[in-house]
Structure 1
Amino acid sequence: MKRVTLCCAAAVTAALLSSVAGFTTATAAPANPLVAHQAALQAAADQAPALAGTLGLGSQEKLVVKDVVTDANGTRHLRYDRTYAGLRVIGGDLIVDETAAGSVSHVTYANSARIAPAATPKLSADAAASAAAATVAGSNLAKSAPQLVVYAVDTAPTLAYETVVTGVQADQTPIQQHVITDAATGKVLYSYDGIEEATGTGNTEYSGKVTLTTTQSGSTYQLKDGSRGNQQVNTLNHGSGTGTLVTSSNNVFGDGNATTVNTAAADAAYGAAETWDFYKNTFGRNGIKNNGVGALSKVHYGNAYVNAFWDDSCFCMTYGDGSGNAHPLTALDVAGHEMSHGVTSATAGLVYSRESGGLNEATSDIFGTAVEFYANNASDQGDYLIGEKIDIFGNGKPLRYMDQPSKDGQSADYWSSTVGNKDVHYSSGVANHFFYLLSEGSGAKTVNGVNYNSPTSNGQKVTGIGRDKAAAIWFRALTTKFVSTTNYAQARTGTLAAAADLYGGTSSAEYKAVAAAWSGVNVN
């Protein structure tokens, strides 16, 4: 399970960081969480004009505070939307990381391109509204007055109109379609429905009967999840490309059998939903890129294709159907694994080779495992085995083992100077083993009916701190410490810093456990 493409995350240059040292510090927050949050929002709003200048934004750009998250150590993550000449910039949001002392340490842009769209529209508002309405099917259609915006979600910032088309579908379901059209050409840049969601049923192969969020279109139900960024599932019908959206006439998808076309689609939709919820409810992350946009899942790729992969270029996951097209690779931990490649790309951007590639692959194993535990599904209980449901070898054995990675015959239990020469799926064993030790500790243990017996390179006992804390430390390191070329030694440093951020300094039990777990895999 590998990713096809890697993109680098935008970072703030050292020159910019040095120029903002000593930025005005917000006043101490009150103890009441609601009051504290409002105070933080006000402080962020107050400093927005000066911050826009510091970041080098154009004179027509303004920052509008949207949210503030404050870490236990006082670090603030200030989320802003942008306006340009008074127009809302869709996709112009950014996050400023500010230390407790008030200096800016990092800035993350949804779109770092210069906001400089055409000054005036070539298309009239009436023409834009007509173009928008032409894309919507229904009766009693009405168009709102189009509003000029700057659209910057997946393209260079473009002057556009937003039109809301309302009406009624044939089955009496109301329509509230938001349509973004290019103000020069009338081309539809983006469209989403503000109302239509349905609760469907998925009869999956691996996770049993589950509830799915679907979208109703006339008398047809689409495997499209409007509550999770419109992420959807397409079928490739044993081909390639984009495929076609999976639909059902009765809002039931699959029957639990691998040979039924929509069964794999139900598994993929369920895995995508659980992964979205895991990141949002555990870390407050709103989708893979933290921009609210859902990913595309594609099932039934190729013929007897024994793999699954994430591709940044299409922001999508692709699943083969396994040997003899009888074992689709759509199990829950595989879905979590693949989507987590996208999270890594959007954050640390770990280069997919040598030690950084091992860390990249391990990150997906770590969070794929965390998703499986999070889902708490009786048909696929959480474990520290990777791909145990998909029977990729035809002998019932999992793809990888986190407690003792070498049990697969190729993965590394411990770091050595040559570990970076291994395929990244096997050099990942070092970090996978670290995560198991940090979560559960060394020695024999049974979790959800699975027996483990994890060794250490130095023979020393490691006491685990629990999976939730281990995952929090890894996520903190991934999003605030790791860079594209991070190796194992630097990962040790980064996770120790993350543990200190979350749980206290070098004297905390969590910090000591991180150090012990890394030593247990020979990273010292």
Structure 2
Amino acid sequence: MSPLYARHKRTTLAVATAVAAGALLSTGLTTSASAHTSAGTAAKPLAAAPTTLSAAARTTLIKNAQADAAGTARRIGLGAKEKLVVKDVVKDADGTLHTRYERTYAGLPVLGGDLIVHTAKSGKAEGVTKATKATIRVASLKPQITAAKAEKQAVSAAKTLGSAKTAADGARKVIWAGSGKPVLAYETVVGGFQDDGTPNQLHVITDAATGKKLFEYQGVENATGTGKTLYSGSVSLTTNLSGSTYQLYDTSRGGHKTYNLARRTSGTGTLFTDADNVWGTGAASSSSTDQTAAADAAYGAQETWDFYKSTFGRSGIKNNGVGAYSRVHYGSSYVNAFWDDSCFCMTYGDGSGNTHPLTSLDVAGHEMSHGVTSNTAGLNYSGESGGLNEATSDIFGTGVEFFANNAADKGDYLIGEEIDINGDGSPLRYMDKPSKDGGSADNWSSTVGNKDVHYSSGVANHFFYLLAEGSGSKTINGVTYNSPTYNGSTVTGIGRAKALQIWYKALTTYMTSTTNYKAARTATLNAASALYGSTSTEYKAVAAAWAGVNVN
């Protein structure tokens, strides 16, 4: 379990922190356009606009509709073998009800038989919207092919999507009314994963008389929601639509899910769900059900996945197409965040007063990168190898921040500059000159391994900055840096993109659990040689940057 920052006091700082953490975005204005409308000119709500129903009111409407389902079926002209099952109810401002039903025929689900009954406040019927206009009637309810044949066909279809499943999850008899004349059919579901790591839930509809495949669809749906985050502004989130409810579940990135611990410190928590696919408010909240922290965590996981995929071709933390999961609202006023291999998950506290969640972008990148390190070099979390472990998360967390190219949280070489754990607006770490935080090491010494890993990481962070950007003064995205070298030399950077490739190659190919700084120098030189050649400018820059932090 890797905590976000070390917890021990210094005499020079009120709160001592050295970390890998994220960026805090201003919450912006809290007033809206409607706030400027005078009380006397308030807009009249549209009569057909849906009203917000309490859970109790919605439950009552559904129960009432279900109690009268048989009468409704008769009134709209359904046959004796047909029954209605209430799925949802929407109520308009003028009292009109829109009741959505699923339909059965002789006890079998009718796929494509759903319908909506519209009823005025007075009780007067205002029409029916049907998925199919066809009369639901089949000559026989006895299949002419076996369920096994339908399942075999479904598994074959799933394999074309990359699923490794060799058996279906089962077949059921249904009436297929999704196209043409209704027929008796089998619906077969095949689970597993698709070839890109996306969970598979392929539904295959097979004609029970002829064996012909009538239809197939993926039961795992992606939707694009809006996250109103605290740190990154308004962002797009990939979510999942389950029935009429959206889930903070990204099936396109290995099935990453975001859960609410609601102040607990154990367990998985409850998956975040929402009715309108808009998550959070963009403002801090002390509520244990607040979605804003969840939106930040989901966005960070999304961008980290894409960073690794786009930059290194790595599909997830274990490179197996499977996503981790995130937990927010951990404990009460917990001022930290951590990665835990045992649950393969990231966990975020809500910070001081439960209003400063540690869910910013480079925190997510940092935490998931601990998982990458664990599943590659496995750097021991103590001594110099522990410093390299923490630095790796800082380096890739910074990479995520630049990759995201988010205008509200621009890429920089400051770690935790927005979380404000110090309480004075200062960053937790400075990669150009780590000692500016009051405790981290700029350069290697024989005692650097005795420091907390969050401070000994400074040597590798400084190396990476020199390799990417070079020594001396420079302004990047509005932030001014001035990086010195141990030996007074001038180091010319090769650019962040190449520096990232070298570090990743070293981590995944040449570093081991016990790698120290001297061995890290060898590993990165080997990586530079493999990528760019042993006589390349990049190779020479790696050597120069290590010399600049006293690793020779």
TM-score range, shorter chain: 0.5 to 0.7
2:448 is aligned, of 398, 407, 419, to 419
Q: Which amino acid aligns with 2:430?
A: Y
- TM-score in terms of structure 2 length: 0.63
In the alignment, is residue 490 of structure 1 matched against residue 519 of structure 2?
yes
1:205 is aligned, of 202, 227, 230, to 230
The change in CA–CA distance for 1:522 and 1:165 in structure 2 (over 3 A counts) is farther
Q: Which amino acid aligns with 1:2?
A: S
The equivalent of 1:50 in structure 2 is: none
Report how far residue 254 of structure 1 moved. 0.3
The equivalent of 2:208 in structure 1 is: none
The change in CA–CA distance for 1:177 and 1:278 in structure 2 (over 3 A counts) is farther
The equivalent of 1:375 in structure 2 is: 404
Once residues 484 and 254 of structure 2 are traced to their aligned partners in structure 1, the CA distance between those partners, rounded to angstroms, is 42
Instruction: Map residues 1-150 of structure 1 onto 2, 5 A cutoff.
Output: 2=2, 140=111, 145=151
Q: Which amino acid aligns with 1:518?
A: W
In the alignment, is residue 247 of structure 1 matched against residue 259 of structure 2?
no
The change in CA–CA distance for 1:482 and 1:162 in structure 2 (over 3 A counts) is farther
Q: Is the 8 A contact 2:154 2:189 kept in 1?
A: no
2:335 is aligned, of 299, 302, 306, to 306
Report how far residue 162 of structure 1 moved. 4.0
SS in 1 for 2:389: helix
Once residues 166 and 288 of structure 1 are traced to their aligned partners in structure 2, the CA distance between those partners, rounded to angstroms, is 37
The change in CA–CA distance for 1:393 and 1:176 in structure 2 (over 3 A counts) is farther
2:282 is aligned, of 247, 256, 263, to 256
Report how far residue 219 of structure 1 moved. 1.2
Q: List per-residue Cα deviations over 1:440-489 (Å, max 9, x = no partner).
A: 00111110000111111000011100000000000000010001100000
Pick the structure with greater CA Rg. 2
Share of identical aligned residues, percent? 69
The change in CA–CA distance for 1:163 and 1:393 in structure 2 (over 3 A counts) is same
Q: Is the 8 A contact 1:228 1:273 kept in 2?
A: yes
Q: List per-residue Cα deviations over 1:121-164 (Å, max 9, x = no partner).
A: xxxxxxxxxxxxxxxxx864999526999xxxxxxxxx984437
The gaps in structure 2 that reach 5 residues or longer are 5-108, 113-146, 156-164, 179-186, 193-198, 203-217
Q: Is the 8 A contact 2:154 2:190 kept in 1?
A: no
The equivalent of 2:299 in structure 1 is: 270
Once residues 486 and 173 of structure 2 are traced to their aligned partners in structure 1, the CA distance between those partners, rounded to angstroms, is 66
Q: Is the 8 A contact 2:151 2:171 kept in 1?
A: no
Q: Is the 8 A contact 1:165 1:178 kept in 2?
A: no
In the alignment, is residue 352 of structure 1 matched against residue 381 of structure 2?
yes
In the alignment, is residue 512 of structure 1 matched against residue 550 of structure 2?
no
Once residues 516 and 320 of structure 1 are traced to their aligned partners in structure 2, the CA distance between those partners, rounded to angstroms, is 40
The equivalent of 2:169 in structure 1 is: 163
Identify which of structures 1 and 2 has the higher relative contact order when contacts are C-alpha pairs closer than 8 Å and 6+ apart. Answer: 2
Report how far residue 229 of structure 1 moved. 0.5
The change in CA–CA distance for 1:360 and 1:165 in structure 2 (over 3 A counts) is farther
The equivalent of 1:228 in structure 2 is: 253
Once residues 272 and 476 of structure 1 are traced to their aligned partners in structure 2, the CA distance between those partners, rounded to angstroms, is 22
2:507 is aligned, of 457, 462, 478, to 478
Q: Is the 8 A contact 2:471 2:485 kept in 1?
A: yes
1:219 is aligned, of 234, 244, 256, to 244
In the alignment, is residue 179 of structure 1 matched against residue 204 of structure 2?
no
The equivalent of 1:325 in structure 2 is: 354
- TM-score in terms of structure 1 length: 0.67
Q: List per-residue Cα deviations over 1:154-204 (Å, max 9, x = no partner).
A: xxxxx9844377999xxx9xx995436xxxxxxxxx975744111100000
Report how far residue 320 of structure 1 moved. 0.3
Q: List per-residue Cα deviations over 1:181-235 (Å, max 9, x = no partner).
A: xxxxxxxxx9757441111000000000000000011111000001001101001
The change in CA–CA distance for 1:245 and 1:398 in structure 2 (over 3 A counts) is same
Once residues 139 and 2 of structure 1 are traced to their aligned partners in structure 2, the CA distance between those partners, rounded to angstroms, is 51
Once residues 224 and 166 of structure 1 are traced to their aligned partners in structure 2, the CA distance between those partners, rounded to angstroms, is 27
Q: Is the 8 A contact 2:168 2:188 kept in 1?
A: no
Q: List per-residue Cα deviations over 1:77-107 (Å, max 9, x = no partner).
A: xxxxxxxxxxxxxxxxxxxxxxxxxxxxxxx
The gaps in structure 1 that reach 5 residues or longer are 5-137, 150-158, 181-189
Number of residue equivalences: 369
